[in-house]
Amino acid sequence: MIYLDLFVNFLLIGLLAFGGGQAALPLVERVSVAERGWITPDVFSTAVAFGYVTPGPVLITATFVGYQAAGFGGALVSTIGVFYFPFLLAALAAGQIQRFAKSAWLKAFGKGAAPAVIGLLGVTIISLGQNAFGNINLGYILIAAGAAALALFTKLHPIWILLGGVIGGVVIEITGIM
């Protein structure tokens, strides 16, 4: 039954993931943490971090959640579920891309969806921030501020920023400073 539950929930998330994986993260969090209790908020933060570190789409987080909930089978059905509709829609749209690109409706959809995606990302940032900074630690706040500054003001690849954050976190945990 857990396999069907994982598949159906991630199928719906994949169907509703307009704006990309980052826009769907609040929905993944709500379903995985709050509604189903498959993972804890701490594990969700780790899943999102791995989603950003691994190659490919951030919704690979579904694989992580599925694995935590039901092992390899859970990872498999969650991954298939979350990517089924995007794969199907991309395959169907591939032949019609020129016609879609000129559609006034699609342009209006994009202009309206973009602010909604930003709002959803804001919710995810707040949720991840509450989890990351639950116990206020100056070191972690400095890591977050440094990562934001590097992302905004340099062309440094995000993987290097994430790796720097990981190293900073390890140093803070091992040494106990800050």
String of DSSP letters for the chain:
-HHHHHHHHHHHHHHT-TT-HHHHHHHHHIIIIIIS-SS-HHHHHHHHHHHHHSSS-GGGHHHHHHHHHHHHHHHHHHHHHHHHHHHHHHHHHHTTHHHHHT-HHHHHHHHHHHHHHHHHHHHHHHHHHHHHTSS--HHHHHHHHHHHHHHHHS---HHHHHHHHHHHHHHHHHH---
Q: Are residues 29 and 61 in the same domain?
A: yes
Inform me whether the pLDDT recorded for 128 exceeds 80. Answer: no
Cα–Cα distance measured from residue 168 to residue 22, given in angstroms and rounded to the nearest whole number: 24
Inform me whether the pLDDT recorded for 120 exceeds 90. Answer: no
Q: Are residues 32 and 117 in the same domain?
A: yes
What's the rounded mean pLDDT across residues 91-114?
77
Q: Are residues 31 and 62 in the same domain?
A: yes
For residues 41 and 33, the answer to whether their CB atoms sit within 8 Å is yes
The pLDDT value recorded for residue 110 is: 77
Cα–Cα distance measured from residue 88 to residue 10, given in angstroms and rounded to the nearest whole number: 15
The per-residue pLDDT for range 13-44, each reduced to its tens digit, is: 988 876 677 778 888 899 999 999 999 988 99
| Apex 73 CA angle, 68 and 77, nearest 5 | 95
Look at the chain and report how many structural domains it folds into: 2
- Is 19 in a helix, a strand, or coil? coil
For the stretch 153-157, contacts whose Cβ atoms lie closer than 8 Å and that sit 24 or more positions apart, written own/partner, are none
Give the range among 83-92, 131-140, 141-150 with minimum mean pLDDT: 131-140
Q: Are residues 47 and 101 in the same domain?
A: yes
Q: Is the model's pTM score more than 0.95?
A: no
The pLDDT value recorded for residue 46 is: 85
**Quick one: pLDDT band at residue 51, thresholds 50, 70, 90?**
confident
Q: Are residues 38 and 83 in the same domain?
A: yes
The pLDDT value recorded for residue 50 is: 80
Cα–Cα distance measured from residue 83 to residue 81, given in angstroms and rounded to the nearest whole number: 6
Inform me whether the pLDDT recorded for 171 exceeds 80. Answer: yes
Q: Are residues 102 and 170 in the same domain?
A: no
Q: Are residues 153 and 100 in the same domain?
A: no
Q: Are residues 105 and 154 in the same domain?
A: no
Arithmetic mean of pLDDT over the chain: 85
**Quick one: pLDDT band at residue 124, thresholds 50, 70, 90?**
confident
Structural domain span for residue 90: 2-132
Q: Are residues 100 and 162 in the same domain?
A: no
